[in-house]
Amino acid sequence: MAKQTPPQAAYPATRLRRLRQKDWSRRLTQETLLSVNDLIWPLFVIDGNGDNQPIQSMPGVERRTIKTVLQACEDASNIGIPLISLFPYTDNTLRSDDGIEATNTENLICRTVRAIKSEFPDLGVMCDVALDPYTSHGHDGLLDSSGRVMNDATVDVLVAQSLSLAEAGCDIIAPSDMMDGRVGAIRQGLEDKHFHDTLIMSYAVKYASSLYGPFREAVGSGARLVGDKKTYQMNPANTDESIREATLDVAEGADMLLIKPGLPYLDIVSRIKQACSVPTFSYQVSGEYAMIKAAAQNQWIEEDSVILESLISFKRAGCDGVLTYFAPNAAKLLKRH
C-alpha cells in the first residue's frame, strides 16, 4: 500500500489567533449568543408575611413570601427576564400521604400565581407539577401499601393539580414527576376544560441525580424522603432512553422539553434538540449552583465569569433557555457586556 502523504500544514497562511486579537473581532465572530431572553428564574415561595428565609445550602437564595415574590417579579420585569418558575415550601400541617393540597385551588402557589398575574400580567409564570412538596413521604407520587410509587393514580392527581394552576392563571405547566403518560393526561385535561393555550414544558428527561440536595432542602422534602427516586427518575448512565422519553412527551402534547440536571447532561440536551426539534431547555440545578457559589466564596474561581461561561455552554449545546438561580445576576452582567 502506498504511503499516504500528510496534508500540508496551513500555518502560517492560517493563523486562528488573528480573529481573537481584538475585542471587536471576538464579538463579531462569536458563534453562541446569550441574552436575558434565555433566562428563567426559579423562586421558592413560603406562606405568611414574615421575612424571607435563607436557604443554607444555596447562598443568596431565599424562600420568599408572596409579597417579596412580587418584588422579585418587579425586578424580573425591569431587567427583562421573561419567565419565573414557582416552587412551594408547604407547611407540615398541609402535607399528607396523598398530597391532596397540590390540588387545592387556594393553595400557596395558586394564590401566588393570581397575585403575580394581577400586578404583572405580561410576565410569564411557570409552575412545577409534582407531589413531593405536598407529600409526607417526599415522593413525587402516591405510594401503595408496599411503598411503591403508583403511576396511574398519581397521574390523576397531577391532572387535578395542573387544572388548579391553569385556573389560577399559570402560563406554563411543568410536570417534573416522571410518571409515564402524565403529559398526555394533562394535555387532555387542559383541553377538556378549555385551557387550549396553556403551555406544557415537560421535564421529559429528569435523571436520578445526586445534585438535587439543596433543592430538597428548599422545598422541605429532603429530610422526609423515604428511600430514593430511582424507580421513576432516569438512570444517569442512559442516553438512548432519553430520546424515547422526549419523543413520547412531544407526541403526548408537550410544547417544550426540559432536561435536568444541566451541565453534566449537555450531551443529552444536544441529542434531544436534534432528535425532537422543539424548544428545549435545561435546569442548572441547586447542586450546580451550590458548587459554583462555594468555589467562588473560597476564591477558587471568579464567580461572574463562571456564571456567564456556564450559561453560554447551555446555549452552545442547543438550549433555547435555562432555569438558573443565577438569572438576576446573569441579566445584570449581560447588560454590562
Pairing of strands 53-54, 62-64: antiparallel
Q: What is the mean pLDDT of the chain?
A: 96
For the cut 60, the answer to whether the pLDDT of residue 1 exceeds it is: no
Which residues are catalytic, by number? 206, 260
Please report, to the nearest 10 degrees, the dihedral formed by the alpha carbons of residues 318, 324, 329, 333 taken in order.
0
Q: Which pLDDT score, from 0 to 100, does residue 222 have?
A: 79
Question: For the chain, which domains are there?
Answer: 33-336 (3.20.20.70)
Cβ contacts of residue 232 below 8 Å, gap of 6+?
140, 141, 149, 151, 177, 178, 179
Percent of the chain having pLDDT more than 90?
A: 92
Q: Which pLDDT score, from 0 to 100, does residue 7 have?
A: 67
DSSP string, 95-111: -BTT-GGGG-TTSHHHH
DSSP reduced 3-state for 86: strand
Cβ contacts of residue 67 below 8 Å, gap of 6+?
49
For the cut 60, the answer to whether the pLDDT of residue 91 exceeds it is: yes
Cβ contacts of residue 141 below 8 Å, gap of 6+?
131, 149, 150, 151, 153, 154, 157, 177, 179, 232
pLDDT tens digits, 16-33: 999 999 999 999 999 999
Region 292-301 average pLDDT: 98
Q: Report d(CA 337, CA 330) in Å as an integer.
A: 11
Q: Report d(CA 40, CA 171) in Å as an integer.
A: 13
Amino acid at 121: P
**H helix and E strand count, the chain:** 11, 12
Q: Report d(CA 283, CA 88) in Å as an integer.
A: 17
pLDDT tens digits, 30-78: 999 999 999 999 999 999 998 999 999 999 999 999 999 999 999 999 9
pLDDT tens digits, 145-164: 999 999 999 999 999 999 99
Cβ contacts of residue 182 below 8 Å, gap of 6+?
154, 155, 158, 159, 175
Q: Report d(CA 140, CA 132) in Å as an integer.
A: 4
The model's pTM is 0.94
* Residue 30 grid cell: 462569536
